[in-house]
Amino acid sequence: MTDRITGSGTDPFGDNDVANIAIIGSGPSGCYIADMLAKKVPGAQVDIYDRLPTPFGLVRAGVAPDHQGTKNIVRQFERAFQRDNVRFVGNVQIGTDISYQELKDNYDIVAITTGASQDRNLGIPGQELTGVYGSGAFAAWYNGHPDQVDLNPQLNGKGIAIIGNGNVALDIARILAKTTEEMDTADITAEALNTIASSPVEDIYLIGRRGPLEASFTNMELSELAGLKRCVTLANADQIPTEIPEGFDPMAARTAEANLETLRGYAGNDQQDKPVRLHILFCASPTEILATDGSVSGLRLEKNTLVDGRAVSSGETVDLDVQTVISAIGYHSTPIEGVPFDEERGILRNEDGMIETGVYTAGWCKRGPQGVIPANRADAMAVGKRIIADLDANPATGEKTGFAATSALLDTRNVRTVSYEDWQKINQAEIDRTEGDKPREKFNRVEEMLALLD
Ligand code: NAP
């Protein structure tokens, strides 16, 4: 009789060298680790879990929809999912559908790569008002993430303030400033595109609490604001240093130099030339969001001076006439029941990527929300190497059956798991229903996606 190999994760040849590995979260860090372990660990079966029916995490729902070049990284991740020993298990929430303990019981290795999806709190009066949004929620909304499908952001005033001087703040400013035509190859949802197109916005303010030298913009993203059709970008020449000071971090100097040059260009722009103005304001901290009838009607800023690169309040305030406030000031991770959590840093508690024996973490939930995709790749590779070394020292015993045991549990809980083939159906349906040059029209409700699979 010939045994049928079911791909259940148990060792079909009985030589006890199968390592069942669960990756939790299918964003860039999870995909990089999965690919590495699938290639390098003898007998590895790698199962990538995600709470959504769709893979790729922030690449799908965080990277700006008009940055399709960046999103092309999924081609590389798709190759990882197509390996015989890699399995996508979508629509499974760890901590709800299956516990952390159950995963540890079923897998030799668990790697948690769930990112940092919660917006940091501004911590100022008025932050709970209608018309105030975190960048994570706002970007998830225009990117069609099911969590924010009902955000319905209020963009019906002439002024919008964006707080923060990082690339996320630039992404949001650009998306709000672009015309519909400039978004025609973007995978923004139709609803978000219409809401933004019908906004009467005339003034967008990008606000940094420190100066141009301390901003964390990369120059490519800052320069992109130069070529917008309906929007002129403005900066105040008095706020732009004439040169890089002595002792400035040499690693950061090139970007800072390029940013100063770009900002000087913006300072020379003529404000009258276009119907929308994007004002880049430095050295101003938000202290209060002002309200009329429960809705945002202004933002109070306190002007700062810089002392050794630190913002120090001057006590002088100014009110901006805005009806929407978006804070782009960073994120924290979501705790998972049973996994130690560092409340202060908003990350999973770990030592160089290890949470406890057999459990690892990488990416933004390991070290905080910093770094572009290549930086997360490097981090994931380092953690992957550590996992390989630990498995070499303590090989899997063959006792843990990975997906076989886990899928049996999920079946008893009526969890409809989504396979990679299922995801390909969703993917194709998104591509098929799109119009014009858009790469896809995303489904942004889980029920809609699951309905395609019945
Ligand atoms: P970020 O680069 O850390 O920027 C956060 C900004 O928020 C900083 O300017 C920070 O100012 C400010 N901030 C923090 N707390 C504040 C407060 N209470 N009040 C006022 N301002 C406050 O983070 P990010 O923009 O969220 O980006 C996260 C990572 O993703 C970055 O590595 C970024 O490069 C990357 N990313 C890349 C791209 C791209 O390449 N196109 C796009 C999006 C994101 P201080 O410096 O004074 O703390």
Q: 149: CA distance to ligand 1 center in Å?
A: 24
**Model confidence at 324: pLDDT above 70:** yes
CB 106 within 8 A of CB 402: yes
d(CA 367, CA 374): 15
Protein residue with its CA nearest to atom 26 in ligand 1: 330
Distance of CA 112 to the CA centre of its chain: 15
What pTM value is reported for the model? 0.94
Residues in the chain: 454
Tens digits of residue pLDDT in 286-310: 999 999 998 999 999 999 999 988 9
For the CA of 210, the nearest atom of ligand 1? 47
Q: 76: CA distance to ligand 1 center in Å?
A: 27
Ligand 1, pocket residues at CB < 6 Å: 122, 163-169, 171, 208-210, 214, 216, 218, 221, 285, 328-330, 369-372
Tens digits of residue pLDDT in 195-204: 999 999 999 9
Q: How many CB atoms are closer than 10 A to CB 245? A: 10
Residue 133 confidence (pLDDT): 98
Residue 14 confidence (pLDDT): 40
Q: 264: CA distance to ligand 1 center in Å?
A: 22
CB 148 within 8 A of CB 140: yes
Tens digits of residue pLDDT in 94-113: 999 999 999 999 999 999 99
Residue 13 confidence (pLDDT): 39
For the CA of 330, the nearest atom of ligand 1? 26
d(CA 72, CA 249): 32
**Model confidence at 3: pLDDT above 90:** no
Q: 327: CA distance to ligand 1 center in Å?
A: 10
Distances (CA, A) of 226 to 175, 203, 277, 329, 353: 13, 16, 12, 23, 40
For the CA of 64, the nearest atom of ligand 1? 42
CB 282 within 8 A of CB 212: yes
Distances (CA, A) of 341 to 120, 277, 280, 337: 16, 42, 36, 9
Residue 17 confidence (pLDDT): 66
**Model confidence at 436: pLDDT above 70:** yes
Give the whole-number percent of the chain exceeding pLDDT 70. 96
